[in-house]
A and B are shown apart, each in its own frame.
Chain A
Amino acid sequence: MTANQLIIDVSGVEKAFTLHNQGGASFGVLDNASLQVQAGECVVLHGQSGAGKSTFLKALYANYSVDGGEIHLRDGEQMVEITSALPRRIIALRRQTLGYVSQFLRVIPRVPTLEVVMQPLLDLGVDAALCEAKAKDLLQRLNVPERLWSLAPGTFSGGEQQRVNIARGFIVDYPILLLDEPTASLDAANRKVVVELIREAKARGAAIVGIFHDEDVREAVADRLVDIKAI
């Protein structure tokens, strides 16, 4: 993709939560939110806890629905409007175009770490040997010890699980990356690795929207800081 190409185009997004089983309590979170992100750009959302940063990110991933507005994401030549797209369109998008690294590792408990990391690339039909090589490389960079690769990550420490999560999130070269506090439980050395990974993604033209509460990471990767309340 060309630099400065528009990759993410959000306009007028409204989102409120209504808790029907708690007396119908309702609270708005996103109000007329808009954002444009270009290729190679990393936009960092900041704002208070509960202000809607995660909600916005999840809306971009189609994990959350929206009450109004539009979200266009670039998939090759097309701009896909995801709030009205068919489920299978979203699934296809998520496989090859749209990546998401959450705060918590959410995987099937019985699958070994290496397989967990390889899976997204395998799903794209890439040769297993290549997937394995890339997975190992990422795990090594993220300082996940080799003896853990054949074990399921369910019993790992929080930090270890998170690093597995990150490896899985970066194994595919997604053109769009959504990162929700990926460095939350990492030490300085590993935060550096994550910064490297993000920079590499930017260099290949990925558009990134992230939430980081570590100042040093923010400084290192952000092209723009955006207040969630202001969009």
Chain B
Amino acid sequence: MNTAVDLLTSTSEWQDIAPLLSVRELNKFYAPGKGCGDINFDLYPGEVLGIVGESGSGKSTLLSCLSARLTPDSGNVIYNSEQFGEMDLYACEESMRRVLMRSEWGIVHQHARDGLRMNVSAGANIGERLMAVGERHYGDIRAKAEEWLTAVEIDTGRIDDRPSQFSGGMQQRLQIARNLVTHPKLIFMDEPTGGLDVSVQAKLLDLLRNLVSRLGLSVIIVTHDLAVARLLAHRLMVMRRGEVVETGLTDQVLDDPQHPYTQLLVSSILQN
């Protein structure tokens, strides 16, 4: 399995790796200024892209369009799939998109209840994707579930507990495990630490950081928290009123912001 390092450094032929996700001229507006427009970028394997901006900037709309959950008004999202080859996301069959979402992709929602089945056990939550692709051995499914509970630092003794009995941070970690069980290549995250206590956030971020690097995941993470972006993302896109105002290396955007809005955003963080 490729680690992040392998993916980022394995070739010297920088033009030859195909992007994992290509976005061209993406537009989706509910009303003038509400939505996202003129979005263009490529995401490569192993990269973490942060989309930052304040409420109403369009970042969540953009994430939905990228993750095949919201049809854009115009533009393309092209994904390089292991199973299907190059896919124009909105030109292909819904069945293919749904298979993608269960196998090569993961989605971590801000609220765990949107990403988990709250009324079945943790083990069942993790095992569901496996069962969806035909895994039929109970013992094996359970063993895999235990493996992933350990990977996200949840006590395996809680495998039969329901997510409703977990703390917020544990629910998020369970969500992550549920997504990772099929070894996805691309994960979409929408404010994964939102609503959690600061210490819990920290733990979750550490976990994410480790998993992303160990598993060589590509991630698109939407957040309003610049500290989260700095910690996790290689690249940033700063959004305001639906447009990308600045983009580049994370530390460059945060340490040497060029656009007035980015400068405002950066200067607004309380320094510790």
- Which B residues from 189 to 229 make CB contacts under 8 A with A? 202, 206, 209, 213
Residue of B nearest to A90 (CB): B249
B267 at the interface (CB under 8 A from A): yes
**Chain A, interface residues (CB within 8 Å), range:** 20 to 34
Closest-CB distance, A174 to chain B (whole angstroms): 14
Give per-residue flags for B228-255: 1 if the beta carbon is below 8 A from chain A beta carbons, else 0: 0001001100000000000011011001
A147 at the interface (CB under 8 A from B): no
* Residue pair A78, B12 in contact (C-beta under 8 Å): yes
Give per-residue flags for A61-74: 1 if the beta carbon is below 8 A from chain B beta carbons, else 0: 01111000000000
**Chain B, interface residues (CB within 8 Å), range:** 20 to 34
CB contact under 8 A between A108 and B234, given known A64-B252, A65-B256, A88-B47: no
Q: Which of B6, B9, B234, B235 has the most CB of A within 10 A?
A: B9
Task: Tell me the dominant secondary structure on chain B's binding face.
Answer: helix
* Residue pair B252, A65 in contact (C-beta under 8 Å): yes
B residues contacting A by CB (< 8 A) are 3-6, 8-9, 12, 14, 44, 46-47, 202, 206, 209, 213, 231, 234-235, 248-249, 251-252, 255-256, 258-260, 263-264, 267
- Which residues of the partner chain B approach A103 to less than 8 Å between Cβ atoms? none
The listed residue (B46, B209, B251, B260) touching A63 by CB distance below 8 A is: B251
Closest-CB distance, B267 to chain A (whole angstroms): 7
A92 at the interface (CB under 8 A from B): yes
CB contact under 8 A between A88 and B234, given known A20-B263, A58-B255, A108-B206: yes
CB contact under 8 A between A125 and B252, given known A86-B14, A92-B8: no
- Which residues of the partner chain A approach B231 to less than 8 Å between Cβ atoms? 108
- Which residues of the partner chain A approach B267 to less than 8 Å between Cβ atoms? 21
CB contact under 8 A between A65 and B248, given known A108-B231, A110-B202: yes
A79 at the interface (CB under 8 A from B): no
* Residue pair B9, A19 in contact (C-beta under 8 Å): no
